Chains A and B, each alone.
Chain A
Amino acid sequence: MASTTPTENEYVTLESSDGFQFIIHREAAMLSGTIRNMLSSAGQFTESTEGVIHFRDIKAVILEKVCKYWYYKARYLNSVTEIPHFEIEPEYALETLMVADFLDT
C-alpha cells in the first residue's frame, strides 16, 4: 500500500543481501546518515515512497548487528544513566566496520 498513514510510516524495512527483512523504527534507521539521505531526499525515490531499502552488499548477520546498534543508540542517546557497553563479536568487527562506514553510523 502506497498510502501514507502515519502508522505505516513509523517503520521502514531493510533487506539484506541474503533476503532477510528487518522492520525497524524509522527514527532508529534515521540515525544512519546514509539512510537519512535515502529516505528524506526531495526526489521521489522508491526508497522514500515505499520505505523499503535493499542492501545488496550487506549480510543479514551484519545488518542485524547494525540495527541493534541503532536501537542501542536511540535508547541511550540522551540518557543520564550509565551506558552499557555495546558488544561486537571480534569475528564480525571488520565487516561491521566497513558497513558502518558505508551507512555513516
Chain B
Amino acid sequence: MPQGSNKIEFCSRCRARFTIKAGATPAVDENDGGLLCPTCASSSSPSVATPKARPVKRPRRKAQKAEIESQVPSLQDLCIQKIANCIEDVEGFGDISDLSMDKICRIISRNRSLNANTLQLFLDSRHSDLSLYDCTDINALGLQNIAQFCPSLRSLKLKFCGRIDDSVMDYYTSHLSQLTSLSLIGPILITEASYIKFFEAMGERFTRFELKHSARFSLKALKALCDNCPNLTHLRLGDCGQMDDEWMEPISNLTKLKSLRLRNPERDRVSTEKVVKLIQAVGSGLEELELKGFVEIEDPVLLDAIRPSCVRLERLNISGCEEFTTEAIQTLFKDWTVNRGLSYINLENCVMLKDEALMAITAHSATTLETLNIKGLDELTKDALLTITKCENLTMLDASWCRAMDDEVMEQLVKSASRLNKVVVWGDHRLTECCPSRKGMKIVGREGDFIDLRFM
C-alpha cells in the first residue's frame, strides 16, 4: 500500500465501512482487537463520554425546577378549585351576568377544569343559551343533566362532546322542547337513528344546526334534517367524513337558508356541478357562504352560481379552493352591481390568484369590506396590495405570506383605513421593525419583533 493514501476498513462492532485517513491510527476494540469506526470509537472512549452524559442531566435539573415551581398553583387554578368546592352554594352566584358567566366558562374550559362538578355552575333553569367549550371531562350522565336542569334552553353548543351518546341525544329530543339551535363539535358516538329522531321532534322550530367532526352523520340523517326542518336558516357542516355529491341535493331544499358553511369534504367526493346546482337553488337568500377546503371545485361555482344567485351575500369564504383562477374572480366581481358589496372575504391559500383578482375585489367592495384575508397569496405584488387602501372601513387584514407587503404599503394602510385595528403579517419579510403603526392597532407576526437586534 502506497504512503499517503486512505484506507478502507470495516468496523468490527457495527460492520460499517469507514475510511482511515493516511497517517492516522484507527481505534482498536479492547475486547477482540479489531478496528473500530470513529462513531463506535467515540462512544466507547471515556473522554467523549462526559459531554454525552450532560444533556441527560440538564433536562432532569430543569424538570426538577419545574416541579418546584408547579408546587405553587396558579391563581386561576386556585379560584377554579374554590369555585368547584363551593359548587353547592351555586345559588349565590345567581346575579352574575350571562356574559361573565360565558367568560368564566371559557376560562374554566381553557384550564381544562370543566367537569361534572364545575358544570353545575352553568346550569340554571332560567338560562336560554348555553355554550360549553370543552366537554371532554363530562360523562354521559353529566351531559344528560344539562337537559334536566335547563329545560328552557333555546340554544345549546357543545364542543368536544365525544362522550355524548344515543341515550343522551334521545333525552335531549324528549326534554328540550324549546330548542331552536344546536351545535355539536366532535359527537363521535351519536348514530343515524338518533339524529333522525331528533330532527323529527324539532320540526319547524329548528333554525340553526352545526355539526363538525362526525363520521357517523349520514345522508339519511341529513335528509331527515332537510325534510323535517324547513325553517333552517343556518347550516354548518364541517369535516363530516360521509359528505359527498348526494348531500348537495337535500340541502338545496332548504330555501330559507341565510348562512351556509360547508367545510373540508374528503377528496374527490364533491363535484363542481353539484355545488353549482346547490348554490343556484339556495343562493338568493344567502348572506353568508363558506366553501372551505373544497380543493377540487372549479370556476363555474363562481361564474354560474355565485355571480347570478348570491345577491344578498355579505360574507364569502373560499379559503383553500385552489382551483379558482384569477380570471374567474375578476369576472365575478367586475360590475357585480346586483350585490351591494361584501363585508368579509377570505381567500386564504387560493394560491392561483394574482393581482387582478384582488384589484377587482377592492374595486367592488371598497366601501363595505371590513375583514379581508389574503393569507398565502404570494403572487400578489405591491400594486395590488396598495389597492386595499381604498377599503376605508377595513378593520382586520390578514396578509401573511404576501411577500410584497412592505413598510410603504403599511404606511398607506395606516393613513387610509382609520378603523383598521388588526393586521396579521407572518412571513412578510419586507416589513421592518420601524414599520408604521398607530395607537390601538395590533400588528401580529412582524419579523422584527422576534429577531433580537443584538445579533444583527
Q: Which residues of A lie under 8 Å from residue B86 when comparing CB positions?
A: 90, 93
Interface pair B82/A98, CB less than 8 Å apart: no
Task: Let me know if A2 is at the binding interface, CB within 8 A.
Answer: no
Interface residues of B in 57-91 (CB under 8 A from A): 68-69, 71-72, 74-76, 78-80, 82-83, 86, 89
Q: Shortest distance in angstroms between A81's beta carbon and chain B's nearest beta carbon?
A: 11
Main secondary structure of the interface of B (DSSP, over half): helix
Q: How large is the interface on B (under 10, 10 to 19, 20 to 34, 35 or more residues)?
A: 20 to 34
Interface pair A100/B82, CB less than 8 Å apart: no
Interface pair A93/B69, CB less than 8 Å apart: no
Q: Which residues of B lie under 8 Å from residue A90 when comparing CB positions?
A: 82-83, 86, 89, 92
Task: Let me know if B21 is at the binding interface, CB within 8 A.
Answer: no
For A96, give its contact among B79, B92, B96 (CB under 8 Å).
Answer: B79
Interface pair A86/B96, CB less than 8 Å apart: no
Interface centre among B76, B89, B104, B107 (most CB of A within 10 A): B76
A72 to B76, CA, bound (A): 14
A90 to B88, CA, bound (A): 12
Interface residues of A in 77-105 (CB under 8 A from B): 77-78, 83, 86, 88, 90-91, 93-94, 96-98, 100-101, 105
Q: How large is the interface on A (under 10, 10 to 19, 20 to 34, 35 or more residues)?
A: 20 to 34
Interface pair B79/A88, CB less than 8 Å apart: yes
Interface pair A76/B79, CB less than 8 Å apart: no
A72 to B100, CA, bound (A): 27
Interface pair A94/B104, CB less than 8 Å apart: yes
Q: Which residues of B lie under 8 Å from residue A54 when comparing CB positions?
A: none
Q: Shortest distance in angstroms between A102's beta carbon and chain B's nearest beta carbon?
A: 10
Interface pair A97/B72, CB less than 8 Å apart: no
* 9 tightest A-B CB contacts, nearest first: A97-B79, A100-B75, A93-B82, A105-B75, A90-B86, A100-B76, A101-B107, A88-B82, A69-B75
